[in-house]
Each structure stands twice: as structure tokens, then as C-alpha cells.
Amino acid sequence: MNIKNIEKKGNEATITVEIDKELMESGVSKAYLKARKSIMIPGFRKGKAPRKMIESMYGPHVFYEDGLEEIFPEVYKFAVVEQDVKAVGRPSLTDMDISDDGIVTITLTTETYPEVTLGDYKGLEVVKPEVTVTDEQVESELNRMAQNVASTETVERAAQMGDTANIDFEGFDNGIPFEGGKGDNFDLKLGSGTFVPGFEEQVVGMSAGEEKDIDVTFPEDYQKDLAGKAVVFHVKLNKVTVTNVPEMDDEFAKDVSDFDTLVALKADIREKALENAQKQADSSFEQACIEKAADNVTVDMPNALIEAELDAQMERFGYQLQMSGYSMDAYAKMMGGDLSTMRNAFRVGAEKQAKINVTLTKIIETEGITASDEDIEAEIAKLAEQYQLEVEKVKEMVPVDELKSSIETRKAIKVIVDAAVAVPAPKDEA
């Protein structure tokens, strides 16, 4: 092969490369052997037509594009990698010229990794709110624990606010049932505000076995078909239950924890809440530092990097949906759109993350950050412990390049965060 010309302009490079006949012929031959299995020529059995016969019918260069695909890894290595062209994504074939003597000249166009000019990334002033845990938060957690061990009891009396009413109901708009307005054996916590305003108040006073028509008007901001409409719900009350919440005392503490006193339980709740809040604050502070460093960078982002990040985010989200029993298509329809709508929704975040990625890569280069063999071994050992796998199994599963990149990225983040200056949030924000 021979490089005829390389032209770089902004984030794009155009490479013209001449491919010798022998290499091109090897690719064309492979392409022919693959394609002939499905080609039928009169007088020949399917898959048995000679190459010359096919070329005489469809043109002498019929296999050249597929042949180029066969040898593309070699072409890419020579024309892009060895010429130190930092391509982003797969280059596009923009021209192919085949001379009479069989020499092929191709032109490849590719987006290239951008020039990145770092701004300030050390000594950044970043807001970090003070972490506190209020008495109300502790009480809220105690209430949650109490609800978990609370018992329920069916009562033979009229329903009151705070009770749970098990009801059958059906809604009618001018005597016609409307979609989504029916339910059976629904447990409604009276006073929870779960139903349309005015509904729960009219269930109060009903007794088990009683049936009643309830008049309500949907809010103006309700779904389009029912917004502002006056409707009637026919309701049957099946039973009334009350929740018996245990008294919060030392006995309660013993029942729900390893502590002997309520005071000790509260102290533990506060300590854990503080620890969790601190982790969240640290994580938010770290992210804010990274984003601020990226905001200070000057870079003309190539679209290919953004699209690659967008693909990665969509893939991760699709996997999360799959774990929850949804498909990407089903979720998109449920949200009133399609995959294109979802992709557009993810684009802003992908653009932001792509800029963060190039920022961290430039910091790694500028600071001379590397991942040592010891770093990699420690990371493998950590993963093995986390996922309860043998170390050798982790080595088989996780490419070293990925581990190395991950370690170097974390070190770059540490450079930013360790040098950052935490400042308190303004009073109005706090």
C-alpha cells in the first residue's frame, strides 16, 4: 500500500491510499467465495458459477467493494493507525478508483479526535452544602420501621379518616363507564389523597356492605378526556381495617433492632443517615468538580464522539429496562414516544458526558497519569472479592485495557477533586 495524500481540516481527515493488486485480489477472492453461494447463473448449479462468468454478467468490479471490506482491517491499520490519524468511529469510503492495471485508489474520510485545550481544573471553587440530619428525618425513619412491624385489624364500624377502606368502585360520565375508572378490592387509605379530591371524604361514614354513589369533579389539570368533568362513582365498601402501630419505646427498639433502648436506636439511625448523606454530598461535589473542569475546556466536539456516548447510554438504559421486565420499544411507547424520541432526550446528557470524557483524557495526558501493574492487580482483586469470583476468572472476563482506562480516569478525577475548594451554599440555595 502507498499513502497518496493526507489532508486534515478541523476534526476531519481525508486519506487517499493506493492498494496494490495482490492485496486487493486477496480481498476480492474472499468476497467472491462468500457471494457465489447465493448467486445463480443459467447453466450452473447454485453456488457453482465461475467468478469470470459472474463478472462478465455483472461487471468486472462487482466484488471490489465487498473485497475492500475483507481487507479493511489491514487498510485501516496502514492508512489510519500507522499514519497517527486519531480516527473517531469507522472511516467512510468516499471514493474508489480502479485503474486499468488493477491498482485501486481509495479515499477515506473520518472524524478525528479533537484538539483539547484545558482551562482551570485545579483549585476550582465548588459548592458543597453542609451535611445535617434533622430530628424530623430520624422520626420519619422510626415511623417507617414502625409501619413495617405494624399489624392490621378489621373493625366493625363506620370508616374514619386514617382507616383503610377496601372498596369496589366504578366511575360513570353521564351514565357511561369511562376507561380506567373501575377497580375491585382496592385498599384505599382514607386521608392519603390517592383519589380525586372529595372522594375519600365521602367514603368516611360508610360501613362494610354499604353501597353509595359519590359525586366528584375532576381537576382542570387532569387527563384531557376527564379534566374539569363532574362524574359519579358507584362505590361498595367491603371492609374497614385499622393499622395498629406499636408504641415507640425501648421494647420497640428491641423488637426492630439490636439495641436495647430507643435512645440508642435513634443515635444509630442518625449516624447512618449522616454517613449516607455525606456519601451523597461527596458524590455530588465530585460530579460538580468534574463538570466545572469540563466547562472550562475549549474543544470542538466531533459528532462521532457524541454519538458513541449516546449509543453507550442507550445501551445501559436498555439493559436496566430489561432487568425490570421492559423493552426499550415498550417503554418509549409508554412514555408517549418512540426510540427516536428517547434518543433525542438522551442527547443533551451524552453531549455533556462526551465533553467530560475528553477533559479527563487530556488531564491524564497532561499529568502523566498511568495505571501501574500493581494498580491493575489490586483492581482485579477488588472485583474478584466484590463478585465472589476467582482472580483468574476476572482476568479472563475483563480486558486489561478497560481496567487501565478506568483506573487512570479515577486518578484524573482525584486530581480535580483533591485540588478543589469546597465553599458553602448560599443561604437562599441552602
Q: How many Cβ atoms are within 10 Å of 265's Cβ, its own excluded? A: 23
Axis-axis angle for helices 400-419, 262-295 (nearest 10): 100
Q: What is the phi-psi region of residue 54: left when phi exceeds 0, alpha when psi lies from -120 to 50, beta otherwise?
A: alpha
Rounded to 5 degrees, what are φ and ψ at 136?
-65, -35
Bridge-based pairing state of the strands 421-423 and 125-127: parallel
Contact 363, 117 (CB under 8 A): no
pLDDT tens for the 430 residues of the chain, in order:
999 999 999 899 999 999 999 999 999 999 999 988 888 788 787 778 888 888 888 888 999 999 999 999 999 999 999 999 999 988 999 999 998 888 899 999 999 999 999 999 999 999 998 899 999 999 999 999 999 999 999 999 999 999 999 999 999 999 999 988 899 999 999 999 989 999 999 999 999 999 999 999 999 888 778 888 999 999 999 999 999 999 999 999 999 999 999 999 999 999 999 999 999 999 999 999 999 999 999 999 999 999 999 999 999 999 999 988 888 888 888 777 888 988 999 999 999 999 999 999 999 999 999 999 999 999 999 999 999 999 999 999 999 999 999 999 999 999 999 999 999 888 765 4
Residue 341 identity: T
| Closest by Cα among 197, 199, 196, 206 to 237 | 206
State the DSSP code for 121.
-
Enumerate domains of the chain plus CATH numbers. Answer: 2-113 (3.30.70.1050), 151-244 (3.10.50.40), 262-423 (1.10.3120.10)
Beta pairing partners, 96: 106
User: How long a stretch of residues is the chain?
Assistant: 430
Measured in whole angstroms, the distance separating CA 158 from the mean position of its chain's CA atoms is: 49
Contact 359, 409 (CB under 8 A): no
Residue in this structure with the C-alpha cell 481540516, named with its chain if needed: 9
DSSP H stretches of helix in 232-372: 250-256, 262-295, 303-323, 328-334, 339-367
